[in-house]
Amino acid sequence: MSMNIQLLKVTNGDKGNIRICLSGQWLPEMGFIPHALVRAVPEPGGVTFMLCDDQSPQDPEGRFIWIPSTNGRKVKCPVLVTKGKYLNETGINYGEPLIARYSPGFIRIRRFPVKAKAIMMTDNQVKLSGGWLAECGFLPDTVALALSEPGRIVVKSHGVVDPSNYAGLVRFARQNKMKLIQFHHNANSKAPGVSIFGSCVDKAGFSSGDVLIAHYEHDLIVIQKLDFNELGF
């Protein structure tokens, strides 16, 4: 199955039912075009969508959804929406984070851990960015130490470091085989960001194309490879 993923959240539908909405140019690329018929099957912790040729009365599990036309609306891509009481079988609740993993004709959605972010490795770099960094204390100009070991990178904040203490922190990092990193403002937003690369990434065993998960709490981020089996894929 493709490693293509999208993160989303459970939203409120009408009459108190939960609602799941998928959108993006990847939908038509995977065959989910306007007027396509999709079968949605609720499963523990998520739901699976499959393209269908027709509605088969011999297989009533789940429900059938038609992807609506985009005619007359200023949208660039189709939208796949499902809602209703049948989603109660999934056990998922309003506001929960979800992850969708997709391939041609097939989309599987599962719960995603709270206080975690999915990251796609590109150019042999781990790129972290977004408001979630500020929420856990990694503001722009924050200095952190990254400890790399096989399978994970642990990032610990040291706050904004006084210049007079910087040299000592550099020595401490070298003595303990850590990497000193500094968070910055993203070019296109006020949110913090940082890139981790080089020997720190190599030692963890990460490479371009890997899907990673960053678990975070105050002043601490732990980055590992995302285990799709643990999420129920």
- What would the pLDDT profile of 166-175 be if each residue is shown by its tens digit? 888 889 988 9
Q: What are phi and psi of 15, to 5 degrees?
A: 55, 30
On the question of pLDDT at 164 being above 60, the answer is yes
Write the pLDDT tens digit of every residue in 147-160: 999 999 999 999 88
Residues 183 and 217 in one domain: yes
Residue 187 belongs to some domain of the structure: yes
Residues 120 and 219 in one domain: yes
User: Which of 68, 90, 111 is the endpoint of a domain?
Assistant: 111
What does the pLDDT average to over 87-103? 91
- Residue 70, C-beta contacts closer than 8 angstroms, at least 6 positions apart: 34, 77, 78
Residue 132 in 3-state DSSP? helix
Write the pLDDT tens digit of every residue in 115-143: 999 998 888 899 999 999 999 999 999 99
On the question of pLDDT at 95 being above 80, the answer is yes
User: Which of 47, 80, 111 is the endpoint of a domain?
Assistant: 111
On the question of pLDDT at 59 being above 70, the answer is no
Count of domains in the chain? 2
Q: Which residue has 């949605």 as its token pair?
A: 40
On the question of pLDDT at 2 being above 50, the answer is no
Beta-bridge mates of residue 142: none
Least confident of 67-76, 179-188, 192-201: 67-76
Q: Are strands 18-23 and 116-120 parallel, antiparallel or unpaired?
A: unpaired
pLDDT for 74: 57
What mean pLDDT is reported for the chain?
A: 88
The span from the CA of 124 to the CA of 140, in Å, is 23
pLDDT for 162: 81
Residues 100 and 135 in one domain: no
On the question of pLDDT at 163 being above 90, the answer is no
- Domain housing 94: 4-111
DSSP of 55-71, one letter per residue?
--TT--SSEEEEPPP-T
